[in-house]
Amino acid sequence: MNVASKVTQKLAVLLVITGAVVANEFADGGFVRAQSGSVPELSAGALAPDFSLPDAKGKQVKLSDYKGKLVVLEWFNMGCPFVQKHYDSGNMQGLQKTYTEKGVVWLSICSSAKGKQGYFEGAEHLKAMADKGGKPSDILIDADGKVGRMFGAKTTPHMFIVDKTGKLAYAGAIDDKRSTDAEDVKTSKNYVKAALDDLLKGKTPEVASTQAYGCSVKYQ
């Protein structure tokens, strides 16, 4: 094999590797599907680990404070186009309002590290959520990413529902439209809504696990 052929072969391999990396994560916006192996994800049926995190006002909040209630854990990052899709369409706020009024606890968690996309100080989180008309029960700050990794949160959004016994009843995507287009919300199958409706009726969710999609969680 001559020198030119060897160089061509090496360039081809480099392009394949580079392409795979770019496809996996695009710039800091990080458009990714849930990555296996990097952060082990808790699956439906597993006991949800207890945790304590400061909320946007500095108060410590424990998951076990809500024992006996249905709890939604929503990993979010307001700089992520996939999260923006669900807030710009009113989808996320609508779910928050509908189900908190039915007694469901909704905790929006940000695991973005300081200096990375989506990171805000507490008061800034409150303003950003208020500007979007968000209605979660609370906003929790996980800047060191410990709780995100504990649950295996890989994307924003990444949704988990903890049932009244403390087990994960649902884990995965918010819906089946893996896009950033707010118009897609109108025709999507909302897995979180379906799971909550089942749980409120005392039923096991028909769909308990899906693959999350969105931007990568901006861990430190």
Per residue in 139-178, pLDDT (tens digit) is: 999 999 999 999 999 999 999 999 999 999 999 999 999 9
Distance CA 11, CA 18 (A): 10
DSSP state of 46: S
**Spatial distance between the Cα atoms of 75 and 217, rounded to a whole number of angstroms:** 8
Highest mean pLDDT among 27-31, 43-47, 56-60: 56-60
| Residue 4 lies inside a defined structural domain of this protein | no
Asked whether 91 and 185 are in contact (CB, 8 A), the reply is yes
Q: Which residue has the tokens 């609370």?
A: 138
Residue 77 lies in a domain: yes
- The number of CA neighbours under 13 Å toward the Cβ of 48 is 30
Between residues 73 and 35, which one has the greater pLDDT?
73
CATH number at residue 121: 3.40.30.10
Q: Which of 182, 183, 77 is nearest to 128 (CA)?
A: 77
Residue 20 falls within a domain, yes or no? no
Q: What is the mean pLDDT of residues 175-199?
A: 98
**Residues 126, 172, 63, CA angle at the centre, nearest 5°?**
50
CB 113 within 8 A of CB 144: yes
At residue 43 the predicted structure's pLDDT band, cuts being 50, 70 and 90, is confident
Q: Classify residue 175: in a domain, yes or no.
A: yes
Q: 35: domain range? A: 31-216
In a domain, 66, yes or no: yes
Q: Note whether residue 5 is domain-resident.
A: no
The answer to whether 58 and 91 are in contact (CB under 8 A) is no
* 26 domain residue, yes or no: no
Q: Yes or no: say if 134 and 171 are a contact pair by the CB < 8 Å rule.
A: no
What is the per-residue pLDDT across 80-114, written as a single tens digit (0 to 9) for each? 999 999 999 999 999 999 999 999 999 999 999 99
For the chain, how many structural domains are there in total? 1
| pLDDT on residue 30 | 34
Is residue 25 a part of any domain in this protein?
Answer: no
The answer, yes or no, to whether residue 29 has pLDDT greater than 70, is no
Task: Give the separation between CA 88 and CA 211, rounded to whole angstroms.
Answer: 22
